[in-house]
């Protein structure tokens, strides 16, 4: 199976026992959600915006082979495809810094 990282970050994926099982470098292509922001109000001189999602860009069409695309959680939530996942539960080190993810999420 090919796993294509469509995020700008190296992904360290851990198994259920906490062992790092995959390190996936960025592919150079990033899938993202285009959004539109519209000012809807202002409070104490601070603007309040409403954000609406427009479309997902940078996500290839599904392939017939076993290819899995890893995208951000936001992108994953905007598509309904079995070949698209996002990094799973965040794993942090003792200092609270992110070091990877536990598996993938759909």
The whole-model pTM stands at 0.88
Q: Calculate the average pLDDT of the chain.
A: 96
**Contacting residues for 97 by C-beta, under 8 A, at least 6 apart:** none
Whether 64 shows a pLDDT value over 90: the answer reads: no
Residue 65 has pLDDT above 90, yes or no: no
Q: CA separation (Å) from 40 to 47, 51, 54, 63, 106?
A: 8, 10, 18, 41, 32
- 74: three-class secondary structure by DSSP: helix
């Amino acid at each position: 199976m090919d796993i294509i990282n469509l995020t700008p970050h190296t992904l360290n994926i851990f198994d259920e026992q906490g062992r790092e099982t995959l390190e996936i470098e960025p592919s150079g292509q990033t899938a993202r959600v285009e959004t539109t922001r519209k000012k809807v109000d202002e409070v104490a001189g601070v603007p309040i915006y409403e954000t609406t999602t427009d479309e997902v860009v940078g996500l290839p069409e599904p392939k017939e082979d076993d290819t899995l695309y890893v995208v951000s959680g936001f992108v994953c939530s905007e598509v309904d495809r079995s070949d698209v996942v996002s990094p799973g539960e965040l794993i942090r080190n003792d200092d609270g810094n992110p070091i990877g993810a536990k598996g993938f999420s759909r």
